[in-house]
């Protein structure tokens, strides 16, 4: 069985995602397409537009299996986000990893990555020097790498993630073939809708109340967005999270040590700003600096609320939590050595450390429930049933 995987967020699932899934399946002639998808919180440190089950079901338009990324993985910087996801996919013994790239052809993307890997030792030294000057890791890494790269537009969020996927595959010595696919027209950073049928997730979220978004989404995905709005009457906002964060850091004064994305000095720095700023946007704006990027502050805030600790990165994950699947996926379930979690009784299969990972995923789901006004423990009640294959 040829297995193709895609590391995803689908926030929301749009025409570009559908294009990449279909095209990569055609290129690889894969028997199964597996999406490992962020749960209710995404890598930029924000709440997902609609819940994970609706996003997963949307992706089933061109996927066979959608599994939930452990919440602590989705709330980390690109290098750890990539490494932990590749570790899970390698255990699933995938053959191919597909991803979108921008500003560069597939051939030149691979050449650029090789150039970076060839000069990695020097880049690491320069990165450390820039970090010592007080720069963020993203900025330091960019300045250290740029002199080895011909195309200065290489450094987009999507391309950096793709580079980290390659780095993780190399370090694990995993037998995974990469399938880079150039995005059609839209850019990840776009905030306005484009004139053709392809627009970025950011632009769709930015225009979520505009009926025109219908042109950029498969009808299945658009219907799930409408269904979510009808159920909860609102799309999630970060303001409530900030209120919880202020309570925890200023009143409970919970220690930030060992929380993912934290480094010494950040706690007092954020306390001071949180005392003065009562609005989420103002807090993020005033806490962002040359050293601490906006995304890092956002990720730290949610990791702190969830108490996601650095030790989670050391756990050997031996399960997958299924969000949606069809009959093709049942073949994989029979072959894999990983534990398959679909209902509450399946949790008994997990060892102590993996139960902690799973509990953190439930905690993240319940935090999302607080924000949208949903009952707790939806993961124990949501029925995961086999879907009809589109292929």
- Residue ranges for the known binding site for ATP are 7-20, 100, 158, 183
Number of H helices, E strands in the chain: 16, 10
Say if residues 217 and 15 touch (Cβ distance below 8 Å). yes
DSSP symbol at 313: G
d(CA 373, CA 363): 15
User: Which residues does the annotation place in the binding site?
Assistant: 7-20, 100, 158, 183
d(CA 143, CA 146): 5
d(CA 262, CA 239): 21
- Of 2, 15, 76, 91, which is closest to residue 391 (Cα–Cα)? 2
- Of 172, 150, 169, which is closest to residue 161 (Cα–Cα)? 169
Which letter, b or e, does each residue of 73-100 get, where b requires 16 or more Cβ atoms within 10 Å of its Cβ?
bbbbbbbbbbbbbbebbbbbbbbbbbbb
d(CA 210, CA 200): 15
């Amino acid at each position: 069985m040829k297995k193709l995987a895609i590391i995803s967020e689908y926030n929301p699932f749009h025409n570009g995602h559908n294009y990449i899934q279909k095209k990569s399946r055609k290129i690889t002639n894969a028997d199964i397409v597996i999406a490992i998808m962020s749960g209710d919180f995404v890598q930029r440190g924000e709440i997902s537009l609609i819940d994970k089950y609706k996003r997963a079901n949307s992706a089933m338009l061109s996927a066979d299996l959608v599994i939930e990324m452990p919440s602590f993985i989705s709330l980390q910087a690109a290098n750890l986000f990539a490494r932990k996801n590749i570790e899970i996919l390698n255990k699933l013994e995938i053959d191919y990893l597909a991803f979108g790239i921008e500003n560069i052809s597939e051939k030149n993307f691979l050449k650029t990555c090789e150039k970076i890997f060839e000069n990695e030792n020097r880049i690491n030294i320069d990165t450390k020097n820039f970090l010592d000057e007080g720069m963020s890791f993203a900025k330091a890494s960019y300045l250290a790498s740029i002199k080895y790269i011909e195309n200065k537009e290489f450094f987009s969020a999507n391309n950096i993630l793709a580079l980290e996927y390659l780095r993780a595959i190399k370090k694990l010595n995993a037998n995974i073939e990469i399938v880079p696919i150039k995005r059609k027209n839209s850019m990840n950073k776009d905030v306005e809708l484009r004139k053709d049928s392809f627009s970025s997730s950011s632009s769709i979220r930015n225009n979520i109340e505009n009926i025109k978004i219908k042109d950029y989404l498969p009808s299945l995905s658009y219907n799930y967005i409408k269904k979510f709005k009808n159920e909860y009457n609102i799309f999630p906002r970060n303001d409530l999270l900030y209120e919880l964060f202020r309570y925890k850091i200023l009143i409970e004064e919970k220690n930030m040590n060992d929380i993912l994305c934290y480094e010494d000095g950040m706690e007092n720095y954020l306390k001071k700003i949180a005392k003065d700023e009562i609005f989420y946007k103002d807090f993020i704006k005033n806490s962002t600096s040359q050293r601490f990027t906006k995304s890092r502050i956002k990720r730290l805030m949610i990791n702190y609320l969830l108490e996601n600790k650095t030790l989670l990165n050391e756990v050997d994950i031996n399960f997958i939590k299924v969000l949606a699947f069809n009959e093709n996926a049942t073949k994989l379930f029979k072959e894999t050595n990983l534990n398959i979690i679909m209902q509450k009784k399946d949790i008994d299969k997990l060892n102590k450390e993996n139960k902690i990972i799973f509990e953190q995923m439930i905690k993240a789901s319940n935090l999302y429930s607080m924000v949208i006004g949903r009952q707790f423990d939806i993961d124990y009640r949501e029925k995961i049933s086999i879907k009809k294959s589109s292929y």
